[in-house]
Amino acid sequence: MAALLQVLVPDIGDFDDVDVIEVLVAPGDRVAVEQSLVTLESEKATMEIPSPYAGVVKELLVAVGDKVREGSPLAMITVEEAAAAGKLAVPAAKAARAAEATPAPAAKARAAPAAEPAAKAPAPPRREPAAQRGAAERGAGPQEGSPLLGTRRAHASPSVRRLARELGVDLSLVRGSGPKSRILKDDVQGFVRDALARGGPPAPPAGLVLPPAPHVDFTKWGEVEVRQLNKVRRISARNLHRAWISIPHVTQFDEADITDLEAFRRSKADEAKSHGTKLTLLAFLIKAATVVLELFPPFNSSLEPNGEAIVVKKYFHNGIAVDTENGLVVPVIRDADRKGLLDIAAELAALSQKARDRKLGPEDMAGGTFTISSLGGIGGTAFTPIVNAPEVAILGVSKAEMRPVWRGEANEFVPRLMLPLSLAYDHRVIDGADAVRFTTRLKTVLGDIRNLIL
Ligand code: COA
């Protein structure tokens, strides 16, 4: 006859109110003795709680986020007849009674089956806190104290460490997105995906290794609200951070006189409307940037991961940063060199709508060769955009303002609509002189849009 047994939190040291951070099984799962059921995290350590029984999980009595202590009930497990005959089996009623009868703090049974003398239970050893297991948990890869690792200690549960070991991932290189920067399963999988996309694992940091940011309890100073970041923000944060750390950025500022361009754009508003679209400034910027990219091929390239060559692309796919409620996304307008302004404007409107409706697919965002980030509709005088790797340059656009501009030949100030440009680039690929040649050419094209057809 099968019996239903309750599993309690075993002796976990002097910790009360320990967080359940992972539940590793689900009702219906068959578990083996010693198989981990949940992961707990105290202020100082992370530990997995193993099952004292082989059987089938009937019910889970905790969920992620719950707080437990020694003696708290974790799960109900149905144990097979054979095991029950071995005196491990305790009828459910008795198990429940025993659990009630045993005051939690006094429960000394380490494996914590709910009833029967602990002596007969297959008591798993008290788990060593993960933090103490240190280097042994890291398995292959550079060891603690290795000059390759610096002093950074990865914060991850044992099951995530196991996954990392299986995949050969050095956790000290993975950025954790969980609470207190804990590394989650998703982070390890994302790290592997990124490494595969790049064609191999990242080079270990050669110089400065940053220690993880300390956890700060902001509630000490006032009321706070914790808002979880959605997936788009988590992914873009990871990509932006990697680009910021790995690319030596320089930003070249300049201004383009778009007085005539703007007059032309407004004069064509009705015509554009009759084509069912709005001829936006951004459409001109995409077209102008493409014309200039054709003249400066390295700006339309990517640096090989070994840093020994650049891949110059003969196609011109423009990424456009679009601000959505969900976060920043960068859909791509393909072959801008072969499209007219009205086509680009229509495609731009369709893509930004799709972005705001959260309907962009991976294909809509893949293959960009150069990005434009336009904040001009909102304001600002200049900013330093982050290169959208593996591209090597990005154009930031701020708000155009009517300003007095000195015309030496006429010896007077004239009112001109000036558009601020901020070109950020990867200095490993692009020299400062070429960057200013690029923006100077861009100014010329935007200042006289007849250059678009040259
Ligand atoms: N200077 C002054 N006015 C500008 C301008 C600029 N550089 N760019 C746009 N405008 C004005 C337009 O003229 C338009 O006014 P109008 O209706 O009178 O013609 C208005 O702002 C809206 O412009 P529109 O062309 O419709 O949109 P947009 O080009 O400003 O923006 C997106 C389109 C998709 C780029 C924009 O919505 C967006 O998401 N921008 C944010 C990108 C971002 O977050 N980047 C940060 C990355 S770090």
pLDDT of 338 strictly over 60: yes
Query: Do 410 and 294 reside in the same domain of the chain?
Result: yes
CA of residue 377 to ligand 1 center, whole Å: 3
Tell the burial category of 437 from Cβ atoms under 10 Å away from its Cβ (0-12, 13-18, 19+): middle
Q: Are residues 157 and 23 in the same domain?
A: no
Final residue before a domain boundary, out of 109, 143, 175: 109
Residue 372 has pLDDT above 50, yes or no: yes
Ligand 1 center–CA 379 separation, angstroms: 9
For position 192, what pLDDT does the model report? 87
Residues 283 and 201 in one domain: no
pLDDT for 200 = 56
Name the pLDDT band for 350 (thresholds 50, 70, 90). Answer: very high
For 170, the domain range is 130-216
Q: How confident is the model at residue 83 (pLDDT cuts 50, 70, 90)?
A: low
Q: Are 397 and 286 contained in the same domain? A: yes
380 Cβ below 6 A of ligand 1: no
Percent of the chain with pLDDT over 70: 81
By alpha-carbon position, which residue is closest to atom 48 of ligand 1?
A: 385
Residue 419: CATH number of its domain: 3.30.559.10
Identify whether residues 253 and 316 lie together within a single domain: yes
Establish if 242 belongs to a structural domain: no
Residue 230 lies in a domain: no
* pLDDT tens for each residue of 140-198: 232 322 222 223 457 788 788 888 888 888 888 888 887 777 888 888 888 888 888 77
- Answer whether residue 298 is part of any domain: yes
The per-residue pLDDT for 134 is: 33
Q: Answer yes or no: is 65 within a domain.
A: yes
Looking at the structure, do residues 338 and 436 belong to the same domain, yes or no? Answer: yes
Q: What is the atom index within ligand 1 of the atom nearest the CA of 355?
A: 34
Would the CB of 328 count as within 6 Å of ligand 1? yes
More confident residue, 297 or 94: 297
pLDDT tens-place string over residues 107-147: 333 334 443 333 333 434 344 333 333 333 332 232 322 22
In a domain, 228, yes or no: no
Q: What is the mean pLDDT of residues 429-438?
A: 98
pLDDT class of 222 with cuts at 50, 70, 90: very high
Task: Name the residue at shortest CA distance from atom 7 of ligand 1.
Answer: 376
What Rg, from alpha-carbon coordinates, does the chain have? 30
Q: Separation of 254 CA from ligand 1 center, angstroms?
A: 19
- Cα 286 to ligand 1 centre (Å): 13
At 40-79, the pLDDT tens digits run 887 667 788 999 999 999 999 999 889 999 899 999 999 9
Atom of ligand 1 nearest to the CA of 281: 25
Q: Which residues are catalytic?
A: 427
Say whether both 292 and 406 belong to one domain.
yes
Domain-embedded: residue 378: yes
Per-residue pLDDT tens digits for 234-289: 999 999 999 999 999 999 999 999 999 999 999 999 999 999 999 999 999 999 99
Residue 254 and residue 388 in one domain = yes
Mutation test residue for ligand 1: of 264, 280, 352, 381, the one with most atoms within 8 Å of CB = 280
Task: Give the pLDDT of residue 179.
Answer: 74
Q: Using a 6 Å cutoff on CB, does residue 24 contact ligand 1?
A: no
The residue whose C-alpha atom lies closest to atom 45 belonging to ligand 1 is 373
Whether residue 309 is found in the same domain as residue 412: yes
Q: How many domains does the chain have?
A: 3
- What is the model's pLDDT at position 203? 56
Residues 256, 194 within the same domain: no
